[in-house]
Amino acid sequence: MKFIYQTWWKVLAVVMVIYTLIAGLLLGVPTMPILHETIRNTYFHVPMWMAMFSVFTISVVYSIKYLQTGKEEYDLIAVESANTGLFFFAIGLLTGMLWAKYTWGDFWSNDPKQNSAAIAFLLYCAYSVLRNSIDEEQKRAKISAIYNIFAFPIMIVLIMVLPRMTDSLHPGNGGNPAFGKLDMDNRMRIVLYPAFIAWSFIGIWIASIRYRIRLIEYKKNQIN
């Protein structure tokens, strides 16, 4: 846990994001019909989802750890990671909708990818609601940890698997390879992959700050 108190990786993440902002807007991209310059959205929209996956993964890992050990801190990490994940989820949905308006013609066209992402969003909202509806601390931690463990694989299937099995307009779905040769080249990869890593660490950073605040609140409540 010493990792979250260190500074070097936060600086690294910020520098990498700045690099992707500059390179993502200035470097060359493949020329494609319909997409035009919106192909650059890949650098900023997809990393939101990667950040979300990262913090949700941390959340579920600490939910499992909580169930194993019963340590209150682990529960706090799980809940604050899930909260941060929900934030990136919302940003991902909104940026996706904006892009869809100008490429698919509508903010919401009931595309399988959009619909299942919306369901997954509600799934995690339900986590938050479930958690806040239980007053007793240990019960709350245990039930929400178990719910989290179930919600995580369902979210993965909803976002990553199901849209690929039907016809979705979203790039990387309906038989299209995700970052295949068709819609990406190496010029894009040198921006996209650092963006994935950088935004994931930004997500972890925000989650860690929320956790530290939550920990102080928790300790204060204990003393009183």
Partner 1 sequence: MLVLSFATAFAQQKQPVEMADVLRSSGKIYVVVTTIVIVFVGLAIYLFSIDRRLKKIEKEN
Instruction: Answer yes or no whether residue 209 interacts with partner 1 by CB under 8 A.
Output: yes
Instruction: Answer yes or no whether residue 1 interacts with partner 1 by CB under 8 A.
Output: no
The interface with partner 1 within residues 2-21 (CB under 8 A) comprises 5, 7, 10, 14, 17-18, 21
Residue 36 vs 189, nearer CB to partner 1: 36
CA dihedral 196, 146, 77, 156 (to 10 degrees): 10
22, 126, 154, 161: which one contacts partner 1 (CB under 8 A)? Answer: 22
Instruction: Answer yes or no whether residue 31 interacts with partner 1 by CB under 8 A.
Output: yes
The interface with partner 1 within residues 147-206 (CB under 8 A) comprises 205-206
Contacts of 161 (CB under 8 A, 6+ apart): none
Residue 5 vs 110, nearer CB to partner 1: 5
CA pair distance 64, 76, nearest whole angstrom: 13
Cβ 39 vs Cβ 185: under 8 Å: no
Contacts of 39 (CB under 8 A, 6+ apart): 29, 30, 32, 183, 188
Applying CB under 8 A, which part among 33-41, 121-129, 139-147, 181-189 lies near partner 1? 33-41
Contacts of 89 (CB under 8 A, 6+ apart): 52, 117, 120, 121, 124
The interface with partner 1 within residues 74-93 (CB under 8 A) comprises none
Full DSSP string of 63-82: HHHHHHH--HHHHHHHHHHH
Residue 179 vs 218, nearer CB to partner 1: 218
CA of residue 96 relative to chain centroid, distance? 13
Residue 161 vs 213, nearer CB to partner 1: 213
User: Contact residues for partner 1 (CB under 8 A)?
Assistant: 5, 7, 10, 14, 17-18, 21-22, 25-26, 29, 31-33, 36-37, 205-206, 209, 212-213, 216, 219
